Amino acid sequence: MSAVADDRTPLAGTLTLPAGPGPHPAVVFLPGSGRLDRESDTRRIRLSLGTPLAHALARRGVASLRYDRRGVGATPGDWRAVGFHDNRTDAAAALRALRAHPEIKSSAVGVVGHSEGAVHAMWLGAHERPAALVLIAGYARPGIDAFRWQAAKVADTLRGPARLLRPFMRRTAAKHPGRMQATTADVARVGGLRTNARWWREQLAYDPCVDLRRITAPVLAITGQKDLQVSPDDLNVVARLVPGGVDTRLVPDLTHLLRRDPEPPSVLNYRRLLRQPVDPELLTDVAGWLAAHLR
């Protein structure tokens, strides 16, 4: 299935339907940041979240749509030139396309977002009124504050010889927002590298708290206890701001990669963790909650 963006760009994706006749309740899945395809994979980092999530949802009678970002997989474009706001506008187009599909119950379409995708889900909750929202590892503070928290946390958890990189990482993190905010082009060279500069400017400036206050749909917010990229404390912010109440889950040992790690948290563990599957209890929890709230 392809959704069509507002500028007529086709967003190539996969619609997974449950067994049996429709129309079915459904969700759009929104991945995290970067050059991600419909599985939440890049060439070097394979999160492999899309298919396991879709199958878990289908077993509980919920359809799902996942799609390739612009410039990735079968979707045309230059991903570096795509802004943070473009990603959420494309997400809104995918939500509308799913609602219009003949096999889908249009009044029972929700959104599942991970990381950046969870932040876009907050915006959709305020502006596009999905029937339910699942926010997995989504931050609830201005983007620049979320970046600074992440950079400090990652640096603090470096161990062994990698600890020598802490001062360099802190200096780089302190300068990075200013460098991005000083750019004006969609794509700019920063530190000698071509960077998705407009995405950075828009992401650093966005404050999801404004939209959280406008959400009326049921919300499930999940963050891992060992997440180094999103503060688990933001669960409390989501719960406080959403007017209708939120189911919050702080999952022991869960990392931002959605794998559990009994070791002290560190990005140095990521390569090992990615050899494991996505946490099956997380998938079961999300699918069960959505089956109960999408009717």
- Tens digit of each residue's pLDDT, the chain (295 residues): 879 999 999 999 999 999 999 899 999 999 999 999 999 999 889 999 999 999 999 999 999 999 999 999 999 999 999 999 999 999 999 999 999 999 999 999 999 999 999 999 999 999 999 999 999 999 999 999 999 999 989 888 877 766 656 776 677 777 888 999 999 999 998 878 899 999 999 999 999 999 999 999 999 999 999 999 999 999 999 999 999 889 999 999 999 999 999 999 999 999 999 999 999 999 999 999 999 999 8
Model's pTM, two decimal places? 0.96
The answer, yes or no, to whether the previous bond of 264 is cis (omega within 30 of 0) is: no
The predicted structure's pLDDT at residue 214:
97
CATH superfamily of 2-142+208-293: Alpha/Beta hydrolase fold, catalytic domain (3.40.50.1820)
Structure tokens at 196: 């998705």
Phi and psi angles of residue 75, each rounded to the nearest 5 degrees, phi first: -95, 125
What is the pLDDT, as a whole number, of residue 164? 56
Contact 166, 155 (CB under 8 A): yes
Within 8 A by CB and 6+ apart from 136, the residues are 112, 113, 114, 115, 117, 118, 222, 223, 258, 282, 286
Distance CA 255, CA 269 (A): 10
Residue 173 is predicted with a pLDDT of 74
Residue 74's pLDDT is what? 96
